[in-house]
A and B are shown apart, each in its own frame.
Chain A
Amino acid sequence: MLEVAAPYFAFWSLGAAFTLGLSVAVFPAAVLLGLASALAFHSGRAAAGAASIYFAIFRGLPEILVILAAFHGVNILLRTVGTGAGVALPTIDPFLAAWLALAVQFGAYAGVIMSDWLRIQPAGLSEAGAAVGMTRSQIRRRIVIPLVLRGATASLGNLFLVLLKVSALASLIGVEELSRRTAIVSGAIRDPLLAYSIAAVLYLMISALAEIGQNLLERRSHRRGGAGA
């Protein structure tokens, strides 16, 4: 049975690497967006309003819609604009569209997580910073953000695992990650059950890798931060 699928392992593993690569590329952008929106949420009125609208929209929309809109929507828009202006605009790359859609969407999830950590951060820590003469941006950089990131590590790790699986939706716009490649192999070997069973194992392996990474990060941040937090 397996020997039918064996020649496709290299092709397949590349799909698995692509799934991991897409998530790894998306995650820092999502965390940055989340951090920025969380800080905005706790600042002045206009920025806080904008952040809560961002949270409401992108936590509410299904990922599949955002991905399809980012790819087909943008392409239709580019085509319409291009035809109107009489020039041929290039189309958006599916990988770029998936990256953009996932980063914006997971930025909203990360934003709410970090916004909660900001809310429970004792005001005394920032006051202590001010007392030793730090400026507002120094307090942010040296106290607020490091503590938020450390506190949110576990939740963000969960978010990363969700991202790994949701990134399968990128297959719908032609990104050849693990799910799309599994469909392709299944079509080539004419044995869907075998193909998807192997895909399940590959997903578990990727998740295991991600979990090992998360454990290492957590252990490091605890060692650095000493007991508390």
Chain B
Amino acid sequence: MSLNRSFLTLTVALGTLAAPVAAQESILIGIDAAYRPFAYVEPSGALTGFEVELAEAVCAAIEARCEISNVPWDGIFTALDSGAIDMVGTTVTKTAARMEAYDTSVTIYNVGYGFIVPEGTDVSGGMEAIEGQAIGTIVGTEAYYAFIRGMLGEEADIRGYDTIDAAVLDLDAGRIGAVMSDNFQLQDQFVSTGDYVFVAEPVFDPQWTGDGRGWIFRQGSAELVARMDAGLEQVIGDGTMDEIAMRYFGMALSSE
């Protein structure tokens, strides 16, 4: 019985065998819910997370019927191309290549870049605290390397690690002076523990961080994009998005 019901939910959630006429009216949103706190499932199987609540808030704002389904990231763009979904509700970095191939929403939020140091370090002078020190980050991330050089000078001593956890282990051991990454990761995994602090406010300059993150649509979706953009502007403007972000990230988001 419950297996049967889950099958039914899956079918309906993907909006596939459901009556095609009704499906026409609802907006099919695909989100990869395997990435806490952005989107994940509760033990009950219900989708939740920042992206899920944001999409729900926007749909409520424009009074649209939306069906959110859990689509694996690997196939999410193919699902969009093939019409299984109308919109990628995972917030995706708006790279030049993606903006050429797809329609995109307004920028929902920008990703900031920042540095963390162990709690207790004197950061009153801002970046001065880490000048001349070795900086750990994820190996092979061109944008990160460019940012570190931009902040600390061309001769900055950059150490690349496979994962940010490995860099932080070296920070704990005192082999490097700071760790650089995006503000979400640093806030969610490290600053929130109270053991680390940001050296300065994370930097959101598009020169370093690109065009921010947004939703992706098939080309030719101008009408749908306009509706969703209007809804986004509403929930960003009235503080709904900030409220959701506070609950999941412990901080407001910048969409400037």
Interface on A for B, CB 8 Å cutoff? 7-8, 10-11, 14, 17-18, 21, 68, 71-72, 75-76, 78-79, 88-96, 171-176, 180, 183-190
Count of chain B residues near A, Cβ 8 A: 36
Interface residues of B in 72-127 (CB under 8 A from A): 72, 74-75, 78-79, 81-84
On whether the beta carbons of B83 and A75 are closer than 8 Å, the reply is yes
Interface residues of B in 6-47 (CB under 8 A from A): 6-7, 10-11, 14-18, 20, 23-24, 33-36, 40-45
- Enumerate chain A residues within 8 angstroms of B10, measured Cβ to Cβ: 94-95, 175-176
Main SS class of interface, B: mixed
On whether the beta carbons of B20 and A184 are closer than 8 Å, the reply is no
Main SS class of interface, A: helix
- Enumerate chain A residues within 8 angstroms of B69, measured Cβ to Cβ: 174
Q: Which of B3, B33, B44, B78 contacts A21 (CB 8 A)?
A: B3
Q: Which of B17, B24, B44, B75 contacts A11 (CB 8 A)?
A: B44
Rounded to whole Å, the gap between the CB of A99 and the closest CB of chain B is 12
Given contacts A184-B40, A187-B33, contact A93 B72 (CB under 8 A): no
On whether the beta carbons of B84 and A184 are closer than 8 Å, the reply is no
On whether the beta carbons of B83 and A91 are closer than 8 Å, the reply is yes
Q: Given contacts A92-B16, A95-B10, could you give 15 more A-B pairs where the C-beta distance is less than 8 Å? A: A14-B3, A14-B6, A18-B7, A71-B82, A76-B83, A79-B82, A89-B20, A90-B23, A91-B15, A94-B10, A184-B70, A186-B34, A187-B33, A187-B35, A187-B36
- Enumerate chain B residues within 8 angstroms of A11, measured Cβ to Cβ: 41, 43-45
Nearest residue, chain B, Cβ from A79: B83
On whether the beta carbons of A91 and B84 are closer than 8 Å, the reply is yes
Tell me if B193 is interfacial: C-beta within 8 Å of chain A. no
On whether the beta carbons of B33 and A8 are closer than 8 Å, the reply is no
On whether the beta carbons of B74 and A188 are closer than 8 Å, the reply is no
Given contacts A14-B3, A90-B16, A95-B7, contact A188 B83 (CB under 8 A): no
Interface residues of B in 110-160 (CB under 8 A from A): none
30 chain-A/chain-B pairs, Cβ below 8 angstroms: A7-B43, A11-B45, A14-B45, A17-B3, A18-B6, A21-B3, A75-B84, A76-B81, A78-B83, A90-B16, A91-B15, A91-B16, A91-B83, A94-B16, A95-B10, A171-B72, A172-B72, A173-B75, A174-B69, A174-B70, A174-B79, A176-B10, A180-B72, A184-B33, A184-B34, A187-B33, A187-B35, A187-B40, A188-B34, A188-B40
Nearest residue, chain B, Cβ from A190: B36
